[in-house]
């Protein structure tokens, strides 16, 4: 019986590392207008929703926002 060797999972990020990465990514978007960032977010949310529908894991109804 052969055992498959699994690659080690990457270690979870610490809270400080998560904050640092979020700040780094925010810096990359600092010159992008807020409306463009919002449009990107909505497009990504729709893409995720479509994937959920395709995998039959979607929740019925529309997302109305916060």
Specify the pLDDT at position 47.
Answer: 95
Residue recorded with tokens 């990504």: 44
The pLDDT tens digits for 22-52 are 999 999 999 999 999 999 999 999 999 899 9
Please state, in angstroms and rounded to a whole number, the distance separating the CA atoms of residues 16 and 9.
Answer: 20
Q: What is the 8-class DSSP label of residue 63?
A: -
Spatial neighbors of 63 by CB under 8 A, at least 6 apart, are 45, 49
Please state, in angstroms and rounded to a whole number, the distance separating the CA atoms of residues 23 and 17.
Answer: 10
pLDDT score of 2 more than 60 = no
Looking at the chain, the whole-number percentage of residues with pLDDT higher than 90 is 65
| Residue 27, token pair as written in the block | 């810096």
Across all residues in the chain, what is the average pLDDT?
A: 87
| Residue 60, token pair as written in the block | 């019925």
pLDDT classification of 15: cutoffs 50, 70, 90: very high
Specify the pLDDT at position 7.
Answer: 74
């Amino acid at each position: 019986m052969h055992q498959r060797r699994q690659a080690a999972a990457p270690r979870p990020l610490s809270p400080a590392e998560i904050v640092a990465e979020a700040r780094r990514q925010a810096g990359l978007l600092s010159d992008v207008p807020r409306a463009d960032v919002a449009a990107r977010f909505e497009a990504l949310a729709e893409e995720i929703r479509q994937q959920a529908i395709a995998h039959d894991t979607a929740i019925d109804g529309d997302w109305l926002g916060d």
